[in-house]
Amino acid sequence: MADESEATASNLSPAEESGAHRDIDNPAPQGIDDPPGHGRPDEPLEDEEMPLADHIEEMIKRLAVVIVVAGVVTAFGLPVAERVINFLWYNIIPLDQLGDEARPRIYHPLALVLTELKVASLAGVIVALPVFVYETYLFMKPGLYPHERRYYLAAVPTSLVLAFVGVSFAFYLVLPAIFTYFIYYTDDVAILAFGLTKTFNLILMLMGYLAVVFQIPLFIMLAIMMGLTTRQWLADRRLLFWGAFLGISFLFTPDPTGMAPILVTVTMITLFEGTLFLLKWTGN
């Protein structure tokens, strides 16, 4: 019997012996708190070496696709931009507190045209977000494992949904609160009138910014799934991320009163911590 066992073992090919040992040594998939690369094969199925110049050329081509899509959507959005301006203006500005003073003021002959272009550009940015995610997937596809490809493809429609949630959050909650605050602290001092250009700079900046901010859960999950980081690593450095959120919000939110950056920072922290809590709670 001992001789038969030894003969059977000796008949295994090196690849079969390697597979048997790998199944024993690495039985479990990577968890959200495991070190990157734990329990995974050494090489993706289609991974291959490419010169740096080829990588840069491919990346530029894929970014060009994103820019072209954003430009095409912007062009189609221009004819209806004026309707969108009226809709946003009279649904965000609290008219009951201002009356006729809530009508937009134009202080430059090209103010309306430039504002229409900005509104159409916002539509282009929102549509280009999932295109950006998909082009990133195509760029990284040769180095991804099969389960990573499935999750990355699922992130494309998820990105669009999150962008619309971010825009809706700005439209229904953040912007009305900010303009109510503006009216409240100036009401007893001066007659407040809103200029079209600067007012829409704030409206569109916050809408576009929150469309990107609401991608935070998606970016975190993709980074963990690909083994770039772990939930525990992010949790241990949460104060650094909070500080970065605050600095970025003050940098990209054009509100000298500080009201808008604070609201956006709280939103970013909530999304960040909520994602970490969800990952810990589900264990996936």
Does residue 34 or residue 260 have the better pLDDT?
260
Q: Using the predicted structure, report yes or no on whether residue 216 has a pLDDT greater than 80.
A: yes
Alpha-carbon gap, residue 243 to 225, rounded angstroms: 25
Q: Which of 114, 74, 125 is nearest to 199 (CA)?
A: 114
Q: How confident is the model at residue 188 (pLDDT cuts 50, 70, 90)?
A: low
Range of the domain at 262: 52-282
22 within some domain: no
47 within some domain: no
Q: How confident is the model at residue 277 (pLDDT cuts 50, 70, 90)?
A: very high
**Residues in Cβ contact with 163 at an 8 Å cutoff, skipping those fewer than 6 apart:** 126, 129, 130, 211, 212, 214, 215
219 within some domain: yes
Whole-number mean pLDDT of the chain? 77
**Residues in Cβ contact with 44 at an 8 Å cutoff, skipping those fewer than 6 apart:** 142, 143, 144, 145
User: First CA to last CA across the chain, in angstroms?
Assistant: 46
Q: How confident is the model at residue 267 (pLDDT cuts 50, 70, 90)?
A: very high
Is 268 in contact with 249 (CB distance < 8 Å)? yes
- Integer-rounded Cα radius of gyration of the chain: 26
Based on the structure, what is the number of domains in the chain? 1
Amino acid 108: pLDDT: 75
Helices (H) and strands (E) in the chain, counts: 13, 0
Exposed, middle or buried: residue 228 (CB in 10 Å: 0-12, 13-18, 19+)?
exposed
Does residue 108 or residue 100 have the better pLDDT?
108
144 within some domain: yes
Alpha-carbon gap, residue 284 to 275, rounded angstroms: 11
Kindly report, residue by residue over 67-87, the tens digit of the pLDDT: 999 999 999 999 998 888 888
Amino acid 163: pLDDT: 87
191 within some domain: yes
Percentage of residues in the chain having pLDDT higher than 90: 19
Amino acid 76: pLDDT: 92
140 within some domain: yes
For the segment 223-246, the average pLDDT, to the nearest whole number, is: 89
Range with the poorest average pLDDT among 16-30, 170-184, 213-227, 248-262? 16-30
Q: Using the predicted structure, report yes or no on whether residue 238 has a pLDDT greater than 50.
A: yes
5 within some domain: no
25 within some domain: no
